[in-house]
Structures are given as C-alpha cells and as structure tokens.
Structure 1
Amino acid sequence: MKTLAAPALLLAAALAGCESTVNLPEPPHTPRVALLYTLTTAPQDSSFRALYAQRQLYVSNSQRVFDPSELTGRTDAAVELRDATGSVVERYRPTRSSNASSTGRGYYRPVLGFQPQAGQRYTLRAALPGLETAESSLVMPAPAVIESATYVARTAPNPGSNQYQGRLSVVLRDDPASTDYYLAFARVLDQQGQPGEWGAVDVDYDSQGSVVSIGQFQLSSPGQQYSLYPFADTGVNGQRIALASDVSFYRNCFQGQGNCAAPGYIEVYVSSITPDAYAFYLSRRRYYDSDDNPFAEPAPLATNVRPGYGLFGGAADATFRIRIF
C-alpha cells in the first residue's frame, strides 16, 4: 500500500481546514468599448456560414469584474474601417433581430462591400455613447500556399448514423521571408460543388490516430471557439508544413426524408491570420483551460484594442478542393 509523505499529509490537513470567507475588494472599473472582429478577404455572404459567422463584428461594453450578469451586445455603436490614407472604406450597421434579447444582439455587418488587400494597413474605429472611442490597426496577411491535399476514406459510410470517416492530409509551402500564422478548416460540398446537408468536418476524437496538441498544425472547428488551433511557423519557417488528421463528418439527411444528396468534395480552408489574432486565440484557450480551477495561474485575454478590450484580427483564406467520391 502506498503511503503519503508527511509534507503531503500536512498540506491536505491544512486545505481541509480552510473554510473561512475572505472578502476581496473589487478593482476599479472604467467602462470601455469591447469588440471582436476578424477582417477577411472572403465575401461576407460566403456560403461557409459556420466559419464567417464567428468572424462577424461584435460590439459591447466592458463589465465590472464581479458583475455576474450576461454580457449584452450593443446596437448603438458607430464603427468604421479606414485605410492607410485615413479614408473610410467600410462602415457597419447592426444585424436585424426580431428579439432585442437574442444572442444576435451586438453583431454588425459591413454595408459598402469593401474587399481588403494583402499587405495593406487598416484601422478599425468603434464609438459608443458616453465611452472613449477605441481603435486598432493591422496589416492584412498574404494568403497561404496550399501545395497539396488528400482525403482517404477509412470506413464505409454507416447507414445508421450517416457518418463518414477518413484521413485528411494538407501540405503548405511556407514563406521563408516572413513569420506566418495559420488556422485550418474544412467543409463538405455536394457533387455539384455546393454546400449540402452535412455537419462540420471535425477531428475524429474517437480515432486512435487523432492527437490534438497545442503547437501543432491541426484542423480547427469553425463552430466551436474552444476548438481553434492556431499554428505559428516559428520552428519550421520556410519549410513545408503538413497537417494529417483522422476526421469525420455526418450527413444531416436520412433516407426517410426524401432525396439525400451524396457528398462530392471536401474543401479545405487555410487562413493566414495576423499575429494579434494568433495571440488572442492562444490566450482564449488558456482562459478556457483555467476555468473553475482555483490553482490555475491568471489567464487574461490578449487584446489589441486601445483604449478598450478585444481583438481586431485579419484572415486571408486559401482553398483547396478534394474530390472524395
């Protein structure tokens, strides 16, 4: 039988007796603009809604540290995008919502149809009544270069669950002249190359061959903020970068529902993201990992909005379409 060392027993006894209540003073708080936005080279009406929905502009105001209320978005923000000359190239207005308390409150969409260009500098400015105007700037990254991508089915489709499983491999040709940051996503298209009745292409966590590790080039899920795996080329700058993962997806259509189109393609998206976006996604993972852990180190979210909080990031997408059936 294993025995505990004396120091461990003393520590356990001390923790067991710690039941006193400690009143912590609330730190002072000045309300600021809080926003989240990823400027992208893709059109905002893209059919890959799961990906671009999370890139929408969201505006709110900061809350006190001890405020337990649910964060509520603001619909009265004035937001504009300026180019390097200071000219306004895009403006934003709230998305329509039939319910003022719905989860759609606080989201905005662009109205001028501006398309940002790689290598150009842009500044986002957001103002809320009574708060100091916040702004942030970035330089749009260049799209990644996808050298090759393959999908190999591992199992026959399951008639009961409509599940498809396979091995997805992607190879990037990395630019040696710059430090680059990437995110990878994938979706399914039908035989005509159109989105269909399928769920997201996700890492197959039930597969023994799937190991998700921070710091590796992995497939991310556009529908889950926690399942974003940003990758930096700092250790492999200028080399070919490979992603290889067991994946699965489901057809959300069953034979009793009528005509169920067969999948035809997997379309891979590799997003080149800005350094601030990379830092924000990493800090958000640390924040989620420390949730409800009283012994975790503080995990503040990275921000590049001044004065204020949040992220103004950029993403340039490269796509590669793989015929699967």
Structure 2
Amino acid sequence: MKKIGFLSFGHWTPSPQSQTRSAADALLQSIELAVAAEELGADGAYFRVHHFARQLSSPFPLLAAAGARTSRIEIGTGVIDMRYENPFYMAEDAGAADLIAGGRLQLGISRGSPEQVVEGWRHFGYQPAEGETAADMARRRTEVLLDLLRGQGFAQPSPQPMFPNPPGLLRLEPYSDGLRDRIWWGASSNATAVWAAKLGMNLQSSTLKDDETGEPFHIQQARQIRAYRAAWKEAGHTRVPRVSVSRSIFALVDERDRGYFGPSGQEGDKISFIDEKTRSIFGRSYAAEPDTLIAQLAQDEAIAEADTLLLTVPNQLGVDYNTHVIEAILTHVAPGLGWR
C-alpha cells in the first residue's frame, strides 16, 4: 500500500484560458479539490508555498479551511520556506490549523527555493545573523520550531497576568499533541536529507534535487531516501519515518488527456542550474496509456522506496479536470502497481 495525494502550486492568472483567474479562485478551488480528493479515496491534499508570486502563499488559512471541510484526508504543505517564517508565530498557526483538522496536518518545510524577488525574506523583516547564510537562517529557525512543538514550557509567567496561568513556565498555545512528529523537511541534497533524519523530521523529496552523481533522477532520489533512512536508524528514533516523493503523472484515458498531455518528445530528465551555481536535475514527467504508465512507474526506484506519492496537478485546468486526473491514477494505475 502507498499513500497517494496531490500537490498543488495554486497558480492563477487572469488569462481567459485559465480556469483559475484570481487569488480567490486559487484558494477556493484548492479547498474544493481537497474535498473531491477525499471523496475519491485519496490520502493527501498538499499545497506549495511561494511568496511574491501569483500562486498560493501564506498557507495556514487555507490549511485550516481545508481541514474544516474534510474529515479524513491529510492536509499538508510541500513546502513552506523557513527563511520567511517566525517560528513562534508559526507554531501557534500550525497548532490551530492542526486542531481544526483533528490532527491531520502534515507540515512540509524547507530552506526555500529560487524566488520571484531578490532576497524576499528581507522585505518580511528578516536577515541572517552575522556569519550565517540564508539557508543557515532557515535551518536555525527550523530547529527553534521543532523545539517549540514539543510543548514544553519556556516563558516566565507574569506575576500579574490578565488571566490565571497554569503552574510553571508557559508554552505557546494552542498546542496540538503529535504535530512534532508530522513535520517534513524538503531536501534537495543527500546531506540535508541526513540532517533532517537526525532531527527526527519526515522527508519530502520533490521533482528537483541536486545533481550529485550524474545518474538518472529516480536513482539519485532513491539513494537520497536510503541515506535518510540509514541516518534515521543511526539516530535511534523509535517511530517509523515517512518519505514522500512528488511526480507529474497523467493517465491518458480520454481525448482531453491526450490533448493536454499527449507525447511531446520531452519525457526525460532535465539538467539546470539553480541560483546560477547549483547543478540540479529535474525528474521526468509521466504521461501515457494506463498499461504503459504502470510499466514505466514500476521502474522508478524512488517511488518504490517512498511510502507516499504526491501527484502534482495542473490546477489552472479547474477542479473537475484535476479530480479526473487524480481519479484516473487511483482507478487505472494504482491497482496495477499494488498501491491499492
């Protein structure tokens, strides 16, 4: 069995060709797709976070709303850029959203990705400490967040509080028990995957990673997952970690599918440079008739290693079509691979 969810970037554009023409459309349709995915039997509704872009940004109102409209499906992010986050306020927001969802929040975070603007986190009032890089700042804030989510008191109560306090030092409220074990780290390198394992975070690995060996993407990603699991075991954690991978996968079952995602001649991995210095590899997309798709996906080593698969969806094609995309995978592909 494999958990299968969707991952939406929440793009919107006023173009007449788009079914998602405003920020309101992107948010409301995201909630509707989470509801539809739950009705289909999917396991997760995950949302990407990008600042200064016509995409989903501040995630917690959306997570809370989706959690309130659903009852079973996991609600998550993939991922929140920690360069932009105050871990104290974030712990309160995350606790509230998790309580509204009944403990279904799966919070994916990371050091961030290439941005729409130069050093956008500075506009949010943040800057690295002396001697830190922006990535260092993100990882430091992550460690603070993880500590806060343990729910231990740390703040000295006022001798004259407005309301009565429980005894001892105070923690942030609302506190959601168990959320600390549902934090995921979006790792682009093997080293950061190992770092996440040592801190007891689950692993999210997307369709992009550092090109560390020159091998095909799925092989490098599988090696990353194995390194993560080895580090987890060495760290002595008692629970079983979770690992997700993201893929663009489309089962061509009708003419709409063939029109949108039929063969393009560009199905292989791609090499690019992030921030003009980091050589990165982008994993291929999959689009084929179900039987062919099953054969192709059976050869993807990283999917085989992961317990959770997130399907990246073309959200601007609308809720109805994206529901069809998810249903086609659950119905025509997943059973043939033993995922359902």
Q: What TM-score, normalized to structure 1?
A: 0.24
Q: What TM-score, normalized to structure 2?
A: 0.23
Q: Which has the higher helix share?
A: 2
Q: Which has the higher strand share?
A: 1
